[in-house]
């Protein structure tokens, strides 16, 4: 499984071009703390809905999966890889690591 450290996300987006930040947390979690970056589109799609809405995801677009600590997003990355997605990555440490290492303005919960 390919992972990206929170400190490498902005560089990764610059290298890959338009990316999708796929936040697989529940809407209430996304409402508390979210990552929004230039050069990327953010989509909140809870983990349990990913299989049902798979057709909405472009397999040619780089996808970075995000959750609270990186566990749920790792499961989604594994599912997407099994479904034929090649350019899919897990955000190591999740939004919690983002809050502590990149942007302390993003609340921790």
Sheet with strand 40-44: strands edge to edge = 3-5, 88-92, 63-66, 19-23, 40-44
108 inside domain: no
109 inside domain: no
Number of domains in the chain: 1
106 inside domain: no
pTM of the complete model beyond 0.75 = yes
17 inside domain: yes
18 inside domain: yes
List residues with catalytic annotation: 67
The CATH number given to whatever domain includes residue 44 is 3.40.250.10
The range of the structural domain enclosing residue 28 comes to 3-101
pLDDT tens digits, 37-61: 999 999 999 999 999 999 999 999 9
pLDDT at 17 over 90: no
């Amino acid at each position: 499984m390919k992972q990206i450290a929170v400190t490498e996300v902005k560089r990764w987006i610059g290298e890959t071009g338009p990316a999708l930040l796929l936040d697989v947390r529940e809407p209430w979690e996304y409402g508390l703390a979210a990552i929004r970056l230039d050069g990327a589109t953010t989509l909140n799609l809870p983990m349990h809905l990913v299989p049902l809405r798979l057709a909405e995801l472009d397999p040619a677009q780089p996808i970075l999966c995000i959750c609270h600590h990186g566990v749920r997003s790792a499961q989604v990355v594994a599912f997407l890889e099994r479904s034929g997605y090649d350019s899919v990555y897990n955000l190591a440490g999740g939004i919690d690591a983002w809050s502590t290492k990149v942007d302390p303005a993003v609340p921790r919960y």
